[in-house]
Structure 1
Amino acid sequence: MSRLPLIVASAGAVAISAGAFTLSFTALADLAAHHGVPASQTWLFPLVVDATILVATLSVVALRRSRWYAWLLLGLSAGVSLAGNAVHAWQWGPVAVGIATVPPLMLLAVTHLCVLLMADARPRVVDVAEVADAPPMLSVVDAPFRHDVAA
């Protein structure tokens, strides 16, 4: 597989993630400010929620075993972000709620797509037993030579 699609998709994922993070950060900070979090600390709530999404995403990609926990953490933190963005937009009605939920949903979708791309781009590890049990391959040298082929 060409590396170009992986590079373009990764660059797109970074751009989408940055946009989603920025939109979500603004909404969650405003939500925290309107619900009793001191002004000097409102930036911490979206940072904790969205940074957890980032750490869980990197863990899903990096881990080879026990990835279920990283996926669980990713789902839970994205759910908190989704709910927080929706609650923040609630006062403006259902269309605003729909708009507000797009960034966290796209972040999840792009994350999953990148995981699939990276998994497909990894070289496949072949078990020695799998190769040993394979039938012998016919090489060009072993192939019968045909003299009767018309020129």
Structure 2
Amino acid sequence: MTTKATVTLVVRVLAVAAIAGVAIAAFRLSFVALRELAVAANIPAGDAWLFPVIIDVTTATAAATALLVDDSGVRRWFVGVLVVGTGVSIAGNAVHSLMVGPSPLGWGAAVVASLPPVALLVQTHALLLLFRLSAAPAPLPVASESTVPEPISDSISDSEADEPVPVPVEAPAPAAPTPPADPVPVRPPRPAVAAAAPVARAVPLIASAPLPVR
């Protein structure tokens, strides 16, 4: 563990101890005042201690929840509970101070008596905030510019990203020219039937002389 980390840890431990001590003291003073107020309100003395526990613990729980939640609606609700609980605790302490009897401070006694619940609220919030900062993850180291890849442009829309990319088609190479073939001599067609021979003219027969009878 480095020196800086050790110093940070020691400071946080001392801060938690101081906050917890002040919160316990404030709770003690507010607890006594609210318990006596509960007895004056005809709550049985054996159960009167529950009244300050209900008020102060509800206030502390509301402060913790309002600090830890992320939802804005839920946070507003618990902030309202925190305001109401703190107001009840302050009013109870002030009324108890006036109820006990006259004081040389007059109304100042009520103001002094209302400080413990305010201190309890502040210390509770500080303690929870310190715990939240301690639980926060450490920031990641920033990479140098030479090792950071260039970000891909986000300007391409989804429709453009879904379109198919045309594939270039290569033109076919021209075929080699075919050399011309040698001309073949064409013979004239032979006649299917030979030319008919000329027909001899008919020769008239000459009557032969009668052969002599022997």
The 1:103–1:4 alpha-carbon spacing in structure 2 relative to 1, beyond 3 Å, is: same
Among candidates 24, 37, 41, match of residue 35 of structure 1: 41
Q: Does 1:138 align with 2:145?
A: yes
Q: Report the structure, 1 or 2, having the larger helix content.
A: 1
Q: Conserved in 1, the CA contact under 8 Å of 2:34 and 2:89?
A: yes
TM-score, normalized by length of structure 1? 0.71
Instruction: Tell me which residue corresponds to 1:14.
Output: 20
Instruction: Tell me which residue corresponds to 2:114.
Output: 101
Structure 1 residues 100-139: aligned runs within 5 Å: 100-121=113-134, 122-123=136-137, 137-139=144-146
Q: Conserved in 1, the CA contact under 8 Å of 2:35 and 2:52?
A: yes
After the TM superposition, list the runs of 4 or more consecutive aligned residues in structure 1 that deviate by more than 6 angstroms. Answer: none
Q: Conserved in 2, the CA contact under 8 Å of 1:60 and 1:115?
A: no
SS of 1:39's equivalent in the other structure is: coil
1:8-55 CA-partner distances (Å, limit 9, x unpaired)? 222222111111111111101101111222223212211211121232
How many angstroms apart in 2 are the aligned matches of 1:56 and 1:23? Answer: 20
SS of 2:123's equivalent in the other structure is: helix
Structure 1 unpaired stretches of 5+: 127-133, 141-151
Q: Conserved in 2, the CA contact under 8 Å of 1:56 and 1:74?
A: yes
Among candidates 47, 50, 63, match of residue 44 of structure 1: 50
The 1:6–1:68 alpha-carbon spacing in structure 2 relative to 1, beyond 3 Å, is: farther
Instruction: Tell me which residue corresponds to 1:67.
Output: 75
Shift of 1:119: 4.2
Greater radius of gyration (CA): 2
1:81-111 CA-partner distances (Å, limit 9, x unpaired)? 1110011002432232122111111112223
Instruction: Tell me which residue corresponds to 1:145.
Output: none
Q: Conserved in 1, the CA contact under 8 Å of 2:20 and 2:127?
A: no
Structure 2 unpaired stretches of 5+: 148-214
Aligned pairs, how many? Answer: 132
How many angstroms apart in 2 are the aligned matches of 1:4 and 1:69? Answer: 36
Q: Conserved in 1, the CA contact under 8 Å of 2:66 and 2:79?
A: yes
SS of 2:46's equivalent in the other structure is: helix
Q: Does 1:87 align with 2:95?
A: yes
Farther-moved stretch of structure 1 (49-58 vs 23-32) = 49-58
